[in-house]
Amino acid sequence: MGEWARNDQQGIEHLKRNWRLVVSFVFGNDAVGGEDWTDICNEVIPGYAALTTEQYVERLVARVKYLTKVQVAYQALLNANVDMSGETPEAKAILTGDRLRQPDVGHWTSRFPLILVDFGYQGTRYLKDSSDGLPRPYGDAIVWLDPGDETSVFTSMAHAQIVDIWDNLTAPSGSSRVN
């Protein structure tokens, strides 16, 4: 179990005093604290708390669904703040397309970040056969969100600058910002 607070200095400080981990959502009004990554997942991923550790496939599916929602929201936010007039029609279609299915991208050459969930592409650890799935996209502006485990969900979002993370365990004299 964790705790929610406002994503402001007072709320963050409260969570840092009371919890080992604190995650604040950069583009939102919320922050959450917990003792471990499971606490954080239980708070932010709908239905996650009801899944047992033995339900590893269901937990992975819940993390994929959550990150897909994050992917869609963050990509839309990025798209709303850029001028795409110089982009190819193919790049625009990928940037603005739905994510009911991960896009078949190939080499991403656009200067705009493309947010993808690392699931369903060839070579990912979640497929029985590494040749199953779509060819894995590549390019400098691809940002991967990783549903692999509870830690990677949030560390990959921190890498994408979607969340800030503080971890009291890694700082001997108080809380340190991880990203």
What would the pLDDT profile of 30-54 be if each residue is shown by its tens digit? 999 999 999 999 999 999 999 999 9
pLDDT in the model for residue 102? 80
Q: Which of 141, 140, 93 is nearest to 115 (CA)?
A: 141
What is the pTM assigned to this prediction? 0.87
pLDDT (0 to 100) of residue 117: 92
Amino acid 173: pLDDT: 46
Confidence class of residue 177 from pLDDT cuts 50, 70 and 90? low
49-94 per-position pLDDT tens digit: 999 999 999 999 999 999 999 999 999 888 888 888 888 999 998 9
pLDDT at 96: 87
Per-residue b or e along 21-60, where b marks 16 or more CB atoms closer than 10 Å to that residue's CB:
bbbbbeeeeebbbbeebbbbbbbbbeebeebeeeeeeebb
State how far the alpha carbon of 129 is from the alpha carbons of 82, 121, 135, in Å.
Answer: 38, 11, 13
**What is the rounded distance in angstroms from the CA atom of residue 129 to the CA atom of residue 174?**
45
Does 174 score more than 60 pLDDT? Answer: no
Average pLDDT over residues 13-19: 94
Residue 172 confidence (pLDDT):
45
Domain ranges of the chain: 1-44+156-179, 55-148
Question: Which pLDDT value is given to residue 122?
Answer: 65
Q: Report the pLDDT value the prediction gives residue 101, as an integer from 0 to 100.
A: 75
Say what percent of the chain tops pLDDT 70: 88
- The per-residue pLDDT for 103 is 85
pLDDT in tens, 106-132: 899 998 899 999 887 766 666 555 566
